[in-house]
C-alpha cells in the first residue's frame, strides 16, 4: 500500500485551518464566505475587482457571488462604483468597516497560515 501518511496529515492540517478560520471570522461577525469575499477584493490588484473576476477566485457560481456581494453591500462591508470604461461593469471595493474586519480576521489567522505552510513544507 502507498504511504498515505503525508496526504492524511495535509488534510488534517487543512481541516484545522478552515475550522479556525471560520471561528475567527464569526467572532468578527463575518460568515466564512464573507471573509473570503473581503479577502479576494482586498487581495486583487488596486484593491478593486468585479463579480466576474471574483467567481474564478472564490470558485463559486456567478449567482452565488452576486448574492454574496449584495448582502455584503447591505451590511456596509463593500461598495460598488460603475467602471469608467464600461457602464455595465461594477467595481467593488471595501468600506472602512470592511477593511477593519478583514484586518482583524487576517491578523488573527497569521499563526494558522504559518503553521499550515510549515506542515506542508515538512512533508515534501
C-alpha cell at 122: 515538512
- Strand ranges in 37-103 using DSSP code E only, listed in sequence order: 78-82, 90-94
Q: Which residue is listed with cell 506542515?
A: 119
* 82 Cβ contact list (under 8 Å, min separation 6): 89, 90, 91
Question: Per CB under 8 A, which of residues 11..50 are in contact with its own copies?
Answer: 11-12, 14-16, 18-19, 36, 39-40, 42-44, 47
Q: How many residues does the chain have?
A: 124
DSSP state of 44: S
Stretch of residues binding its own copies (CB under 8 A), selected from 22-30, 65-73, 76-84, 114-122: 114-122
Using CB under 8 A as the binding rule, whether residue 1 contacts its own copies is answered as: yes
E-strand ranges in the chain read 78-82, 90-94
* By the rule CB under 8 A, 2 interacts with its own copies: yes
Q: Considering the rule CB under 8 A, would residue 111 count as an interface residue with its own copies?
A: no
User: One symbol per residue from 49 to 88: x for binding its own copies (CB under 8 A), - otherwise; what is it?
Assistant: -------xxxx-----------------------------
C-alpha cell at 15: 481541516
Applying CB under 8 A, the residues found at the interface with its own copies are 1-2, 4-12, 14-16, 18-19, 36, 39-40, 42-44, 47, 56-59, 99, 102-103, 106-107, 109, 113, 116-117, 120-121, 123-124
Amino acid at each position: 500500500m502507498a504511504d498515505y501518511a503525508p496526504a492524511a496529515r495535509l488534510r488534517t492540517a487543512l481541516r484545522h485551518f478552515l475550522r479556525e478560520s471560520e471561528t475567527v471570522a464569526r467572532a468578527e461577525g463575518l460568515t466564512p464566505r464573507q471573509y473570503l469575499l473581503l479577502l479576494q477584493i482586498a487581495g486583487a490588484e488596486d484593491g478593486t475587482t468585479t463579480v466576474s473576476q471574483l467567481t474564478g477566485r472564490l470558485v463559486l457560481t456567478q449567482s452565488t457571488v452576486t448574492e454574496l456581494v449584495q448582502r455584503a453591500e447591505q451590511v456596509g462591508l463593500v461598495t460598488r462604483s460603475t467602471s469608467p470604461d464600461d457602464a455595465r461593469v461594477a467595481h467593488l471595493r471595501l468600506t472602512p468597516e470592511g477593511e477593519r474586519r478583514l484586518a482583524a480576521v487576517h491578523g488573527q489567522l497569521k499563526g494558522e497560515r504559518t503553521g499550515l505552510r510549515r506542515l506542508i513544507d515538512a512533508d515534501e
